[in-house]
Amino acid sequence: MSEKNDKLLSILKLQPVVPVLVIDDLASAVPLARALVAGGLKAIEITLRTTAALEAIRAVANEVEGAVTGAGTILNAAQYEAAVEAGSQFIVSPGTTQELIDAAADSEIPLLPGAATASEVMGLREEGFTMMKFFPAEQAGGAAYLKSLSSPLAGTFFCPTGGISLSNARDYLSLPNVVCVGGSWVAPKELVARGDWAGITKLASEAFALRG
């Protein structure tokens, strides 16, 4: 388990912001991923919320140099297996079930499990997880809540996602228990629809600069 935790940590440390993408049009997946990578955001989460998602993961994994492709909104073992088969290098879930924990144990590809309460975090720690997704971040208590967990649950690290934007990302990134944040603002639907890849690279570069 420690090896998978280390693998996941190395991915999440690539950048301060992990783009969370909903791909409706498969044709946009590769140029969108290339635009994000050009801006410094190599680790990319493609959510399984559309019919194009698995093929988008496959295309980005195969065609975008430098991209570290992940799958989000994974809800069960079948989706976990399909996402790995498509080329995902990390898996993200909004919450956690025993089925997902078992799927993660059977796979070489690490899981970033979702948690929103101290009890959920403690349960995941018992299973050996040290990296978790805090979701939905803003709605579940925001940066102040996550900060309050840092001392009693020391040694647990988070990627908060949900309601995070350029304006509040630093509030989370300044916390000792936050490695990175997840956000969709780096790939606005209107820019994707227009094929404004330069505009997305600019947003990605601004997000990458949050590391400082």
Catalytic residues: 45, 133
Q: Return the beta strands (E) in 73-178 as ranges.
A: 90-92, 111-112, 114-115, 131-134, 157-160
* Chain centroid offset of residue 179 CA: 11
Q: For 117, which DSSP code?
A: S
**Cα–Cα distance measured from residue 57 to residue 30, given in angstroms and rounded to the nearest whole number:** 9
- Write the single-letter amino acid at 60: V
The rounded distance, in Å, linking the Cα atoms of 83 and 76 is 11
Strand duo 17-21 + 181-183: pairing: parallel
Phi/psi at 58 (5° precision): -60, -45
Q: Report which of 24, 97, 98, 30 is spatially closest to residue 67, judged by C-alpha positions.
A: 30
**Both tokens assigned to 123:** 């349960």
Residue 17 near residue 47, CB atoms below 8 Å: no
